[in-house]
Amino acid sequence: MTELAKIAALDAGTYFHHRSLNTPEFAPHFHRTVYLPELTQQAIDDCDVLIVSCSSPPLLLQAQRDLFAHWLSSGRTLVAMGANQTETWLDGVEWIESPVNFWWWKEPGADSGLRLVAPGHPLFKHISLADATWHQHGSYRVPLGAQSLIDKLGYGSVLYEDTAHWPGRLIVSALDPMYHHGSHFMPAATRFLRGLLPWLREPWRSTPCVDPAAVTTPAASA
């Protein structure tokens, strides 16, 4: 039987992290939770996946940029959730600012602007586009060789996977499901976590980095 990946998740001490990491449905997926100010390599060394939880203090994350780079270089999976200013502590990540419309669904012909880019990706066996749809605070430019999973029309990606630039796997999201689930609103965010966490536990094998110069730019790039 294939062993499931072990997930470590960072806890910055917020109420929404506490609820997200301790919800009975989700807690069994976490092999370990680590208080962000006390994060060390030793604390997560026996894990395969590291989740940087939504809306963590960027200054604390910036102080750990070497740890995050080492994690990816060691062939493991790093998940950078939304509202973390990921572009300030991970090389090669580029943020695209866009207007935030909290009430788009009340408008005539309501359209979230989100589009599935890679419907055949294994994640979408666990979630649908509706499970990733609430509002967006911005998006990311997709690096050469990476794959957008969900795009924001006219801007960039709100969820992409990059296995081209690291021995490990980088998953970057502009979505903030832990904040919304932990704040007891936005049911789609709960469904997103319900699908994301089991998928992250599925085995993933590190492969050698792809030479970005030899890769066609994904159509998802904005």
Taking only the tens place, the pLDDT of each residue in 60-113 is 999 999 999 999 999 999 999 999 999 999 999 999 998 888 888 888 888 999
CA-wise closest residue to 216 among 121, 147, 144, 164: 144
Using CA atoms, how far apart are residues 62 and 57, in angstroms rounded to an integer? Answer: 9
Predicted local distance difference test score (pLDDT) of residue 121: 98
For residue 171, give the H/E element and its range.
strand 169-173
Residue 9: Cβ within 10 Å count: 26
Using CA atoms, how far apart are residues 167 and 170, in angstroms rounded to an integer? Answer: 10
Terminal-residue alpha carbon distance, the chain: 41
Rounded to two decimals, what is the model's pTM? 0.91
Residue 183: Cβ within 10 Å count: 15
Using CA atoms, how far apart are residues 9 and 89, in angstroms rounded to an integer? Answer: 17
- Name the band, by pLDDT with cuts 50, 70 and 90, for residue 221: very low
Q: Does pLDDT of 216 surpass 60?
A: no
Helix, coil or strand: residue 66 = helix
Using CA atoms, how far apart are residues 70 and 108, in angstroms rounded to an integer? Answer: 48
Q: Supply 40's token pair.
A: 């060390």
